[in-house]
Structure 1
Amino acid sequence: MTLLDPSVVWSTFVAVVVLVTPGLLIAGAASIRGIALVALAAPLTIATVGVVGVLSEFVGVWFGWWSVLVLALVAAIATRLLMRKRTPPAWARGSSHDALVLSAGALVALIVVGVIAYRDTPVGAISQTYDAVFHLNAAASILDTGRASSLELYRLTNPDSASIDFYPAAWHSLVALTSQIALVPVATATGAVWIAVAGALWTPGVVLLTRAVVGRHALPGWRLLIPVALSTCFAAFPYLLLSWGTLYPTGLATALLPAGLALLWFAVPLNRVAFARGVLPAFRRSVYPASLLLVWVVAAVFAHPRTLITFVALAVPLAVLVIVLASQGLRRAGRRRSAMAVVAIPIAAVVIAVAAAGVILVRAYDLVNDPISNRLTGGPATAHQDLLASAIQVLTAAPLSAPGDLPLPPAILLAAAVLAGAVLAFRSRRALPVVLGVLVMGVLYCLAAGSNDDLAKILTAAWYKDKYRLISVLPLLSIPLIVLTLEWLRRGIRHGPRIAAAALAATVLLSWFGPTLSVMSEQIGRTFALPQSEKAGTLIDADEIALLEQVASIVPADQRVLSNPWDGSSLVWAIGHREPVFPHLVGVWGADRDIVATRLDEAGTSPDVCEALDNLRVRYVIADPEKLWGGTDPQAALYAGIDRAVASATLVPVLTEGSTVLYRIDACGPLL
């Protein structure tokens, strides 16, 4: 399905409505206007959706659009009462004209991102990756069960565990809501939500952050469209994570970062004079943005809490700048003791926190007996190039791309504009932390992509030493720097406005139609490519999808379907609306599931196998001889009993499509 397919247009429209409507209600009640209204709507929605998921589980209410809308209305009323006599700060009181310009620009950005990302693959295609199984089935489970709690979602892979780790459910909830309202398959809703996130969350957030860094006077009126256009130009985001993983929740959380950083910029005083009367008075205007930042943190937790580590890493340069300004301002006001304290206390806190974290990590991960050198040694954590090659990729805005760690062609003009902005930022106090943030994330990417040393592992472990997660952060920092470059051209040289406009047009057009994004589109196409019948190491093929789409007509709705999940058939939940026994490739499955995985071939001869099948309510098996990565992963061996049962010809074939077969288990008799 192309972007012009009516079902794709409709589902993308629904995804945008789902993503912004609750947040618009709450932001409007808080009297937020202008670009802040557009930029904060989606973060407020994500926080609302995450909270509703937990509350609905707690009170036993079905999760759906109605429950989200009810909580949004309650939150809007409460916000209105709290804000009745309060006036938002200037940055949150923009004009309706700015809001309309940004909304129109975000719509165009949405289309551009959709065209580039899905140029070589249908929007409803399935990512041929390990992670796709869990994410698609998690959305299907929310849709079918009405349970969307982040405190329970991980039970999909730990069904019999007494306690479950937190797993963020915001992404899967948005997909389920879109599928529910638009009446489209989960895979189509997944593509639609990715496009909607790019247009309704990422792009407005980038604009708000750019204004926070560069200043509101640099982007009046139609010039708001400058960062809008630039938000679609970088391969590292919003495109790269589609080809790797595919990391849907991480993509959602990364798209949240610009709005959170903007709120942080608005929350801190960035001049010495503000500290003349002391530290607390300097922050008297920070309550409003800090309150919104707290809600943003809730949204980030439900999107992907590990992104908060990235947020902290990017906040450190800003915090250092504020500490320096505070110390200088207090000294000039004659408050020398306060000036010393404002430096000494944060340093002491950081030292204590680092030491405590080190002790906790050494004990929790037994790093004495199992050192870091033995960890982070496989998959994306292994570096296959050197530090110099990695540094060149950062400097040329051309990261490695999945599949295959392919170096993308350099984006020379885009990279030059970022570099020029970095130089100019040293003249701007507000923008200097952005340069330091680029340096921090760039160095971390180089270590992840170009080194296997222990130090590289230690510094990048919070990101799983995953170069793709690290490089995806750089665009949100690069765009304000490019705007600084364009502003210098516009104001600082003869015929500046015309030259700046020409430079912007050249940068954007060469990005859209240049080799970097062209190869990026091809890479995404490879990740989502659907073979007809020969998988050649991919997850699923067209024949298997055709069979899964027919399963609901044969398997009763109250029964589960058994399969070796490594052959792609566990996607029967997302495609065929029947719950699989194993909704992901790995998990802590419990006794009954372990029995059928390892000993299904003993059905009819071992009563405990039939008992397990009865407990799980299973009488059908789906099998395909071809497995993800050729079945070479050792973890696939757990399901050998299913493979042996299929090979033994004791199962009864019911439906066949290509090499994929739906079998019936007759050895245990009918289910009661």
Structure 2
Amino acid sequence: MGSWFSVLPSLLIAVVILIVPGLVVIAAGWGLRTPTRWLLAPAVSVTIAAGAATVAPLVGLPWGVWPMLVMTVVITGIAVLLRRLAGPDPLTAPRRADVTALLSLAFAAVVNTVLFARAFGAPANIAQRFDNIVHLNAIGLATQVGDASPFQIGATSDISAYPNGWHAFTALVVELTGSSVPVGVNVANLAIVAILWPASAMALSAALFRQRRLVFIASAALSTGFGAFPALFFNWGVLYPNLMGYAMVPAGLAAVVLSMEERRGGLVRALLLAALIGGGVFLGHPNAFLALLAFATVFVVSSLTARAVSNPTRVDWVLLASVTAGLALVSVAVWTVFRTSPEHSWWSPWQDPAQAFGQGLLVAPRGFTPTVTIAVLLIAAAVAVARRPRLLPSVLPFAVAVLLFVVASGLRIDHPVREILTNPWYNDSNRLAALIPLAAVPAATLGAVVIVDASRRLAARLGLPRWSRQLAGAVALALLATVALGPNARIALAEVREAYAYTEEAPILTEEEQALLERLDETTPPDALIIGSPRTGASLALAFAEREVTERHVFGSPSEDLLFLNRHLRDIDEDPQVCSVVDRLGIDYVLDFGRHDVMDQSLAPAYDGVQDLDPGEHLVLVDSEGTDARLFRIEGC
């Protein structure tokens, strides 16, 4: 299904889309002197893409490079104005920090690209998970109609709106590269794990720990070492929109951290940047925004508390009280608005709280084996916080992430605390497990800083020669660089490989079925309407060939006519009513991929009318591949 080298130009285009628009905005508003600022650029780019895709249909523009360009110019203009009002960026970085940050990001990008490309298998492979049907078709429809707004993306799922951050970015990649939808999806996802995620994680760690060169190195390496994120979302769901939103959460929190250090003149500019990225996180997925709100709340409140206690003034206490009250009200409102219904939040706990707590602390949910290096760094961070409580705000987001995971996976299904705290995540422990690495990267980075600083003090006390200290530093860096090879990430990536594998029992598509879909451009006219079971992958004719299908996703609401055909189309030669309904709906072709169901084989009989068909007077076999992939043309109706 193609070589990864053949899609390198497409990957480079995706990387450019992720970097350039945001970098222009950051340069205009703050300059590029400090790495922490320009590491926020990918998150800003995603926000621009999601916002532009939302506005484009309202002003009559098809989604593509022009709306992206216009939105970039508008936000850049605002950034220039804010810079003139606020003055130069007060943030400074150590010498050569920019080079260190760039090389560290490049290292993480290469490692994650190689790891995930190997896990995906081939550029045109798809994740064999049922949520992928709607995501692939949403991209296919968005590129077909030139609309990647939340309303259009929602229409693919028969709902009013759906967060569009991932879909807007991916649809733009597909359009600008000319790649197929499966290839475009894989290229876009590689760009997210290679650039957006590590840059976001590095930005947060640098904002917390003063942009030390070691911080950039450690956080970049650590971004490659966790199984719960980003790998889990390529196997569970798949949850591509959550992938995008979660990858931006550290960048959003970094913007909040930086705003806490701003002078009065630059505070408005800093808060607007945090709001901009926060909006992008929301358009990535509301779940991600809730996580950002929770992390930001504990960081801001604990930081203001520490400030008020250490240097008590009336202003500090009033500020603490007002901000705490405001964040509490916002949190209650947001948690209330984004509660999910019982039919969507039925995910059950599967372990006791003590076991969940241990898995969370070691960032080893779902039974992933802990990576020793990461565990040591987290222990070092805990010791440092115990000795220096002023460091507490930097690790509180990690504590919140662990708490949410423990509640979802360890408390009984009817526990009121569980229903209050984790319902907006559908009480799904997998979605909450993926939050832990977002906050674990800065916590483990703190551990690396503590260990290195202690080692330097010990070496100086012992009078060790310079070369021995340099050798020890090189060994430490090598250990950090190998976390990507640790069991935590390795187990999760093996599960991703399984999710993207093509076998005879593949949940969505076999290689034969995909080959048949890829020939629809040759075997069907562009205006063809195709019926088939979405539960067998037949509805992916929309994503693979821009052919309209009767059902775009698994959880649809078919009309009475369509329900009738799903059960009785096979009787077309005996029952005249079948032809009448076919004519009424305008159906031209049938895709028959057998009876293998993507989720639950007991649900396959609902589509017996379009499965395991035989050619006949009205069903003419047009194309086939293997024994179970067949395309029929309906004639004589």
Give the TM-score taking structure 2 as reference length. Answer: 0.88
Instruction: Please name the residue that 2:465 is paired with.
Output: none
Decide whether the 8 Å contact of 2:35 with 2:101 is kept in 1.
yes
Decide whether the 8 Å contact of 2:15 with 2:195 is kept in 1.
yes
Instruction: Please name the residue that 1:483 is paired with.
Output: 445
Q: 1:255-280: per-residue Cα shift (whole Å, max 9, x none)?
A: 1011100111111259xxxxxxxxxx
Distance verdict in 2 for CA 1:514–1:71, change over 3 Å = closer
**Partner of residue 582 from structure 1, selected from 541, 544, 551:** 551
Amino acid paired to 2:122: P
Instruction: Please name the residue that 1:446 is paired with.
Output: 406
Instruction: Please name the residue that 1:186 is paired with.
Output: 181
Matches within 5 A, 1:141-220: 141-158=141-158, 164-216=159-211, 219-220=212-213
Q: Percent identity?
A: 26
Instruction: Please name the residue that 1:518 is paired with.
Output: 490
Matches within 5 A, 1:265-664: 265-269=257-261, 285-325=266-306, 327-328=308-309, 332-333=312-313, 335=314, 341-342=318-319, 345=322, 376-377=345-346, 381-400=347-366, 407-427=367-387, 431-455=391-415, 456-492=418-454, 493-495=457-459, 498=470, 499-509=472-482, 511-531=483-503, 534-535=504-505, 538-590=507-559, 593-601=562-570, 613-614=582-583, 616-629=585-598, 631-632=600-601, 634=603, 638-643=606-611, 651-658=619-626, 659-664=628-633
Cα deviation for residue 630 of structure 1 reads 6.5
Amino acid paired to 2:279: V
Could you say what the CA RMSD is over the residues aligned between the two structures, in angstroms? 3.2
- The SS at the match of 1:201 is helix
- The SS at the match of 2:624 is strand
- The SS at the match of 1:661 is strand
Instruction: Please name the residue that 1:24 is paired with.
Output: 23
Q: Distance in 1 between matches of 2:274 and 2:233?
A: 25
**Partner of residue 222 from structure 2, selected from 209, 213, 230:** 230
Decide whether the 8 Å contact of 2:301 with 2:320 is kept in 1.
no
Distance verdict in 2 for CA 1:224–1:324, change over 3 Å = closer
Cα deviation for residue 316 of structure 1 reads 2.4
Q: 1:71-112: per-residue Cα shift (whole Å, max 9, x none)?
A: 323432443344345424323x65995445433332321221
- The SS at the match of 2:179 is coil
- The SS at the match of 1:235 is coil
Decide whether the 8 Å contact of 1:486 with 1:504 is kept in 2.
no
Distance verdict in 2 for CA 1:289–1:591, change over 3 Å = farther
Cα deviation for residue 603 of structure 1 reads 5.2
Cα deviation for residue 40 of structure 1 reads 2.0
Decide whether the 8 Å contact of 2:227 with 2:490 is kept in 1.
no
Cα deviation for residue 495 of structure 1 reads 2.5
- Identify which range, 187-196 or 499-508, moves more after superposition: 499-508
Q: Distance in 2 between matches of 1:185 and 1:464?
A: 32
Q: Distance in 1 between matches of 2:269 and 2:337?
A: 35
Q: Distance in 1 between matches of 2:585 and 2:109?
A: 43
- The SS at the match of 1:306 is helix
Decide whether the 8 Å contact of 2:228 with 2:492 is kept in 1.
no
- Gaps of at least 5 residues in structure 1 are 159-163, 271-281, 366-371, 401-406
Distance verdict in 2 for CA 1:244–1:355, change over 3 Å = closer
- The SS at the match of 1:518 is helix
Distance verdict in 2 for CA 1:416–1:21, change over 3 Å = same
Q: Distance in 1 between matches of 2:319 and 2:249?
A: 27
Distance verdict in 2 for CA 1:559–1:412, change over 3 Å = same
Instruction: Please name the residue that 2:80 is paired with.
Output: 80
Q: 1:287-315: per-residue Cα shift (whole Å, max 9, x none)?
A: 12101011112211221122111111112
Decide whether the 8 Å contact of 1:558 with 1:617 is kept in 2.
no
Cα deviation for residue 343 of structure 1 reads 5.6
Decide whether the 8 Å contact of 2:86 with 2:266 is kept in 1.
no
Q: Distance in 1 between matches of 2:449 and 2:365?
A: 27
Decide whether the 8 Å contact of 1:213 with 1:431 is kept in 2.
no
Q: Distance in 2 between matches of 1:545 and 1:388?
A: 45
Distance verdict in 2 for CA 1:96–1:71, change over 3 Å = farther
Distance verdict in 2 for CA 1:421–1:360, change over 3 Å = closer
Cα deviation for residue 224 of structure 1 reads 2.6
Amino acid paired to 2:292: F
Decide whether the 8 Å contact of 1:35 with 1:204 is kept in 2.
no
Amino acid paired to 1:28: A
Q: 1:122-163: per-residue Cα shift (whole Å, max 9, x none)?
A: 2431101011111111111111111111123111132xxxxx
Distance verdict in 2 for CA 1:462–1:225, change over 3 Å = same
Decide whether the 8 Å contact of 1:437 with 1:477 is kept in 2.
yes
Q: Distance in 2 between matches of 1:78 and 1:360?
A: 31
- The SS at the match of 1:165 is coil
Distance verdict in 2 for CA 1:259–1:186, change over 3 Å = same
Matches within 5 A, 1:47-86: 47-84=47-84, 86=86
Distance verdict in 2 for CA 1:200–1:428, change over 3 Å = farther
Instruction: Please name the residue that 1:239 is paired with.
Output: 231
Q: 1:163-217: per-residue Cα shift (whole Å, max 9, x none)?
A: x43201221222222122222221122121112112221111111111111123x
- The SS at the match of 2:422 is helix
- The SS at the match of 1:388 is helix
Q: Distance in 1 between matches of 2:175 and 2:329?
A: 49
Amino acid paired to 1:556: P
Distance verdict in 2 for CA 1:45–1:125, change over 3 Å = same
Q: 1:418-454: per-residue Cα shift (whole Å, max 9, x none)?
A: 1211221345566412322222211221232234332
Instruction: Please name the residue that 2:46 is paired with.
Output: 46
Distance verdict in 2 for CA 1:516–1:81, change over 3 Å = closer
Distance verdict in 2 for CA 1:359–1:463, change over 3 Å = closer
Amino acid paired to 1:62: P
Amino acid paired to 1:247: L
- The SS at the match of 1:293 is helix
Amino acid paired to 1:479: V
Cα deviation for residue 63 of structure 1 reads 1.0
Instruction: Please name the residue that 1:9 is paired with.
Output: 8
Cα deviation for residue 548 of structure 1 reads 0.6
- The SS at the match of 2:23 is helix
Cα deviation for residue 325 of structure 1 reads 3.9
Distance verdict in 2 for CA 1:65–1:609, change over 3 Å = farther
Q: Distance in 2 between matches of 1:667 and 1:193?
A: 44
- The SS at the match of 2:549 is coil
Cα deviation for residue 465 of structure 1 reads 1.6
Q: Distance in 1 between matches of 2:397 and 2:123?
A: 34
Amino acid paired to 2:285: H
Decide whether the 8 Å contact of 1:128 with 1:538 is kept in 2.
yes
Distance verdict in 2 for CA 1:108–1:244, change over 3 Å = same
Decide whether the 8 Å contact of 1:425 with 1:481 is kept in 2.
no
Distance verdict in 2 for CA 1:261–1:607, change over 3 Å = farther
- Identify which range, 290-299 or 70-79, moves more after superposition: 70-79
Distance verdict in 2 for CA 1:430–1:339, change over 3 Å = closer
Q: 1:480-512: per-residue Cα shift (whole Å, max 9, x none)?
A: 222322322333332275445433422432x23
